[in-house]
Structures are given as C-alpha cells and as structure tokens.
Amino acid sequence: MKGLKTRSAILDHAADLASVEGLEGLTIGRLADELQMSKSGLFAHFGSKEELQLATIEIARERFMTEVFKPALGTERGYPRLVAICRGWLDYIQRNVFSGGCFFAAASFEFDGRSGPVRDAIKKTMDEWIGAIEKAVRLAVDEGHFGPDVEPAQIAFEINAIFFGANYAYNMRHDKRAITRAWNAIETRLEGLRQSPRPARFAHPEKRVARRRAS
C-alpha cells in the first residue's frame, strides 16, 4: 500500500507531527519515515519542504476552524457567542485535536523571530483568528452586553494570551487545573465587562410592543 495515501491523509499526519516536533522539523524525509512512504512518493505531492509546510498550515487551519470556530457560530451573537468561542478553544485543547497541543500556538512561537512565506502563513491564520475573537467582542458591545467603552482589540489580546497560557500549562506542565484556571480568568474578565440589562425605555422596539401587549 506504500505511496497510496491521499494528499489530505498525508497532510493530516504532517499537522500532528509538526504540532509535536515543530514545523521546521517537518521535512519530506522525516514525513516519509513516519508514513512509511518513499521520499519520491512524497515529492510527487510536494515539490519542496516549504510547499509541504505551507500545505500543512492550510490543513491545520481547516481543522482548527472546523473544530473551534465554526461550532460557535451557531450560538446567539454577542456575549453568548464570545463565551462559546472561548469554551470551544478550551475544549479543543482538552480533546487533543492536534497530538502536540495547539498547532498554531507552537507554530507562532517557533516562527515569531523569522521571516518568509511560512511565517507569513502562520501570522495570517492567527490574525484571522484574533480578528474573529475581536469581532465577537465587538458584537457583544453592539448588542449592549458590554459597555461602549470596551475595546475589542484589548479583550481579544487578553483572551488569546489566556489561550497560550492554558496550552502551555496543559501540555508542558500537565497541570490538571489548566483549563479551569483559564476559564476562571476569562469568566472573571468578561463578567467584569458586562453591563446590566438596559432599562425598558432603551429596550428594542419589538420588545416594548410585546411588553405593552402583555400588560
């Protein structure tokens, strides 16, 4: 069966391998050993190490979005969706979606001092992710769940930081309380930003109508 693995099966394996050993260690030779494929078979799929790295980032991005981000989009926008994103991320770490912890946390810290297309691809995915958190915070402001002075970029920075801290504590320290600590930190922060429900005169027009009808 040598050489008969599909491109996506190869890349799935590559993403897990890179999450453990780093993207820089992801060579065609190393992957061929792991998959018991010939190097020439892998070269047929990927012409170079860099091409393999970039394709691996793309499949890791898809896995991440499917596992963490997309499920949260089913939740009501504003505060509930922001909470769903955070819970989804912590759940993703506990489920060991990548063998070596969060692929993008590892890749970010591996490539933050470098330049080139691989770094750019990691940064782009992380920008997209942090932008998604930022947008969820902004919607919570728009919905009136948070006060208007809440700065989405600041809160997204903090949530992303807590994710890094959780990934570290869970995978490096094997701290059984890592997830609880991360959730406590996020909950304390977000609860502190909530504003009390608006008084009736500021409520949404439909709700006021409903209230009048009911009374």
Site residues, a second copy (CB under 8 A)? 19-22, 24-25, 99-101, 105-106, 108-114, 119, 122-123, 126-127, 153-154, 157-158, 160-169, 171-173, 177-178, 181-182, 184-185, 189, 192
Compare residues 69 and 163 and give the one whose CB is closer to a second copy. Answer: 163
Return the H-helix or E-strand segment holding 142.
helix 117-142
Compare residues 191 and 206 and give the one whose CB is closer to a second copy. Answer: 191
Compare residues 83 and 171 and give the one whose CB is closer to a second copy. Answer: 171
Backbone torsions φ then ψ of 19, nearest 5 degrees: -65, -25
Minimum separation from the CB atom of position 5 to a second copy (A) = 23
Minimum separation from the CB atom of position 123 to a second copy (A) = 6
Minimum separation from the CB atom of position 41 to a second copy (A) = 26
Sorted by sequence, the CB contacts under 8 Å of residue 35 that are 6+ apart come out as 5, 10, 13, 42
Partners of 146 in the beta sheet? Answer: 194
Minimum separation from the CB atom of position 102 to a second copy (A) = 9
- Token pair in block for residue 84: 């769903």
Q: How far apart are CA 118 and CA 122, in angstroms?
A: 6
Q: How many CB atoms lie within 10 A of CB 158?
A: 16
Minimum separation from the CB atom of position 99 to a second copy (A) = 7
Compare residues 77 and 119 and give the one whose CB is closer to a second copy. Answer: 119
Minimum separation from the CB atom of position 127 to a second copy (A) = 7
Structural Rg of the chain based on CA atoms: 21
Extract long-range pairs of 96-99: CB within 8 Å, 24+ residues apart.
Answer: 97/63, 97/64, 97/67, 97/68, 98/15, 98/16, 98/19, 98/60, 98/63, 99/16, 99/17, 99/19, 99/20
Compare residues 75 and 108 and give the one whose CB is closer to a second copy. Answer: 108
- Token pair in block for residue 25: 């260690």
Compare residues 3 and 165 and give the one whose CB is closer to a second copy. Answer: 165
